[in-house]
Amino acid sequence: MNDRVGRLQAQLEQPLLVTNPVNVKYLVGFDSSNCALIVERDRIRLLTDFRYIAAAREIPDVEVVQTRRDTIGEIGEVLAGQNVTFESLMPWSLYERLRAAGLELTPADGTIERMRAVKDEQELATLRSACAITDRAFERLAEVQFTGRAERDVAWELVQIFHEEGAHEPSFEFIVGSGPTGSQPHGRAGDRLIGKGELVVVDAGCIVDGYASDYTRTFSTGGVNGEMREAYEVVIAAQQAALDGIRAGISGVEADALARDVIDASPFKGALGHGLGHGLGLDVHEAPRLSTESSDTLAPGNVVTVEPGIYVDGKFGIRIEDDVVVTEDGIENLTAFRKDWVEVA
């Protein structure tokens, strides 16, 4: 039995039903859109339908149960009359179906998500590979023509660069936000033509063996004004303050404040409208959170983004984002691409 499942089993007092495909993949390495795990202290069953059954039988140390296409519908039959713990993020419709089948359901309060938040050495090695590819992709992006092209065209070229550098797939829909588009933290790359004298926010990353990188850099197309330059320097200072201060044992709120306090002490007070960062792993956004609303405490092995920004509505945006591993006394920064002022053509 692998170490992840063994650690989970040691915490269980009753069967745990796992229906989130990402959590199934994390625990046993099975990647399917239609599956479930039933984990008990001395037993683990993997349920899936005919389309995936051959792959399921390759998974070691699990009992494979072939179901109808409606795998979820059979869970109630398999566990009829039992008290079962379930993941805290279960769709309400599924919860109601299982309850109607006679199951007594108790939420697991994020047990698997807390495990996923602390990466093991294999996970860290994979994330380092994803970040190395992302470094190379951003190096090449800095040589790409920006001005006179639509944001979506630059985004598409970056997707192709990632593919050429060995990425398995993009982590998410890439953001290329020029000028006023960049003032929206999650503005989508559109048909707007990138002009001279603008800032361009590029947020991109890749998947390697299921694990995601997530970088942001802000490029200049030359001739920008003093306010943009000043804001850029403030963001750099804010991020460095966070990088210097993040370590195991501090809260997500404290980590967020390291950068936020720098921005709020500048002429751009209040311009950071989102949290400082989030966990990275099999999901692009997972625990822990670094924000004013976080309830998390950082632990060694957490991998988080550190991404302060300044957004001036309708004018420009700036964000700088690194991916880092939390350690006992600081961080390991997985991000090597430069963050000084970069002008592009």
- Any residues with CB less than 8 A from the CB of 159 and at least 6 apart, and which? 170, 174
Residue 269 pLDDT:
97
Q: Are residues 93 and 70 in the same domain?
A: yes
Q: Residue 89: pLDDT above 80?
A: no
Which of 92, 116, 140 is the C-terminal boundary of a domain? 116
Mean pLDDT value of segment 320-326? 98
Q: Which of the pair, 344 or 72, is modelled with greater confidence?
A: 344
φ/ψ of 254, rounded to 5, equals -65, -40
Mean pLDDT value of segment 94-112? 81
Q: Is residue 54 part of a domain?
A: yes
Q: Are residues 20 and 137 in the same domain?
A: no
Here the tokens at position 4 are 């992840």
Question: Could you tell me the CATH number of the domain that includes residue 55?
Answer: 3.40.350.10
Helices (H), 18-120: 21-28, 53-56, 71-78, 92-100, 111-117
Q: Are residues 107 and 124 in the same domain?
A: no
Q: Are residues 100 and 187 in the same domain?
A: no
Q: What is the pLDDT of residues 213-256, one digit of tens each?
A: 999 999 999 988 899 999 999 999 999 999 999 999 999 999 99
Q: What is the pLDDT of residues 105-164, one digit of tens each?
A: 888 878 899 999 999 999 999 999 999 999 999 999 999 999 999 999 999 999 999 999
Q: Are residues 198 and 110 in the same domain?
A: no
Q: Are residues 295 and 163 in the same domain?
A: yes
Show the CA angle centred on residue 269, arms to residues 264 and 270, nearest 5°.
105
Strands 83-86 and 16-18: parallel
Cα 270 to its chain centre, rounded Å, is 25
Q: Are residues 135 and 230 in the same domain?
A: yes
pLDDT band at 79; cut points 50, 70, 90: confident
Which of 116, 133, 157 is the C-terminal boundary of a domain? 116
Candidates 38, 104, 171; CA nearest to 48 is 38
Mean pLDDT value of segment 194-198? 97
Q: Are residues 202 and 229 in the same domain?
A: yes
> Distance between CA 46 and CA 242 in Å, rounded?
42
Mean pLDDT value of segment 260-267? 98
Q: For residues 119 and 301, is the Cβ–Cβ distance under 8 A? A: yes
Q: Are residues 135 and 271 in the same domain?
A: yes
Mean pLDDT value of segment 161-173? 98
Domains identified in the chain, total number: 2
Q: Residue 261: pLDDT above 60?
A: yes
Domain that holds residue 125: 118-333
* Mean model confidence pLDDT for the chain: 94
Name 16's bridge partners.
Answer: 39, 85
Mean pLDDT value of segment 184-207? 95
Q: Are residues 203 and 321 in the same domain?
A: yes
Q: Is residue 339 part of a domain?
A: no
The count of other CB atoms within 10 Å of the CB of residue 38 is 21
> Distance between CA 53 and CA 50 in Å, rounded?
5
Q: Are residues 122 and 212 in the same domain?
A: yes
Q: Residue 80: pLDDT above 80?
A: no
Residue 1 pLDDT:
53
What's the pTM?
Answer: 0.92
Mean pLDDT value of segment 57-77? 88
Percent of the chain with pLDDT over 70: 100
Which of 65, 98, 116 is the C-terminal boundary of a domain? 116
